[in-house]
Amino acid sequence: MSPAKTPVGILGATGVVGQRLLALLDTHPWFEPVWLAASDRSAGKPYAVAARWGLSTPLPERFAALPVSPAEPASCPAKIVFAALDAALARELEPAFAAAGHAVISNSSALRMQADVPLVVPECNPEHLALIERQPSYGRNGGFAVTNPNCSTVGLVLALAPLERAFGLDSVFAVTLQAVSGAGYPGVAALDILGNAIPYIAHEEEKLEVEAQKILGRLTAAGIEPAGFRVSAHCNRVAVVDGHLESVSVKLKRRAPLAEVAEALRGFRGRPQELGLPSAPAAPLLVTEAPDRPQPRLDSGAGGGMTAVVGRLRPCPLLDYKFTVLSHNTLRGAAGAALLNAELLRAEGRL
């Protein structure tokens, strides 16, 4: 390992998000994976045997023979641990890793809405990272947890952030078409999803209806004061591999012409772009004029999978404006989001 790189661990390294993390970290300029952990089924096996590698890029050779570790804090030599575990398991393991002094960068929903845990999209609310100082483990041994949002919240909140800043938001109505990779591996049975759409994803609407308000909320001495807009969400699973598409209508607090709304979306930039973080896309949002875009197959790779694509911005007869937003669920919605959070933590001297 290059002496300049910081060692990191991945908890849930064999899963859909864990694999994406490993692929992104393969060429990362700051971080090097040294500890890959998963369930007892995988522990002790070489990573290449334990993981059913599912990406189109090959498994980086130097990780293939690395033995999978048990998911125990004492076995992890790295301070930074990326966590990609099911929520029920994360609720138990993530606090245990933070209590043992690790910086847990989590993808799961387990701790997202906890008052002292930052829920961060670096372009939207980098200042919320200060919440880690209020976690009990931080004062004891520097351990803490930071989370990124649900994979559908990310695309939505990237589009809402510039609108909330420029005009204020009153209400949001969102209908999602979510890819199957969002359900992990093996996910939804082929017989259920092929040639079909399923109008239910357990617990997804509840997450989409509260997370954006925490992210766009204000950090106060008492905690995060959530933004005041309401969200109504309908979540659907569709037969798409990667990329969550969302049809969104918004009511603004200050009425504005369409050109001004488009300009606010186009001009949106944040801390990652200012700091030139390695995983930051040049722009978090790309606004397209094409009448039939964005589409998951054609557009989910924008900005290396880290740019959300907004299209079909137009007036809405019920609320003020409507548009479509697409974001890559395992990159901007998971592995890339966690990596960008870790980069921001390091750039701000919090690691």
Q: By CB under 6 A, name the binding residues for ligand NAP.
A: 12-18, 38-39, 41-42, 71, 84-87, 89-90, 107-108, 151, 181-182, 184-185, 329-330, 333-334
Position with the least CB separation from ligand NAP: 15
265, amino acid identity: L
Is-catalytic flag, 76?
Answer: no
Among 79, 107, 159, smallest CA distance to 331 is for: 107
Least gap, CB of 52 to ligand NAP (angstroms): 8
Whole-angstrom distance, CA of residue 61 vs CA of residue 51: 13
Please give the full DSSP string across 298-310, using - where no structure is assigned. Answer: HHTTHHHHT-EEE
Whole-angstrom distance, CA of residue 241 vs CA of residue 225: 36
Least gap, CB of 185 to ligand NAP (angstroms): 4
Please give the full DSSP string across 235-271, using - where no structure is assigned. Answer: EEEES-SS-EEEEEEEEESS---HHHHHHHHHT---H
* CA-to-CA dists, residue 259 to 165, 172, 236, 255, 297, angstroms: 16, 20, 31, 12, 28
* 106 versus 324: smaller Cβ distance to ligand NAP: 106
- The string over 256-293, giving b where at least 16 C-beta atoms fall within 10 Å of a residue's C-beta and e elsewhere, is beeeebbebbeebebbbbeeebbbbbebbbbbbeeeeb
**Adjacency order of strands within the sheet including 69-70:** 69-70, 31-38, 6-11, 80-83, 103-106, 144-147
Active-site pick, 102, 128, 244, 328: 244
* 261 versus 333: smaller Cβ distance to ligand NAP: 333
* 125 versus 181: smaller Cβ distance to ligand NAP: 181
Q: Which two tokens stand for residue 152?
A: 């559908």
* 89 versus 256: smaller Cβ distance to ligand NAP: 89
Is-catalytic flag, 244?
Answer: yes
* 109 versus 324: smaller Cβ distance to ligand NAP: 109
Active-site pick, 151, 203, 316, 328: 151
Four-CA torsion 95, 10, 272, 235, nearest 10 degrees: -80
Q: Contact 223/116 with Cβ under 8 angstroms?
A: yes
Least gap, CB of 321 to ligand NAP (angstroms): 27
Among 259, 339, 340, smallest CA distance to 10 is for: 339
Burial (CB count <10 Å: 0-12, 13-18, 19+), residue 341: buried
* 244 versus 251: smaller Cβ distance to ligand NAP: 244
Whole-angstrom distance, CA of residue 16 vs CA of residue 187: 10
* 84 versus 163: smaller Cβ distance to ligand NAP: 84
> Where in the sequence numbering do the catalytic residues fall?
151, 244
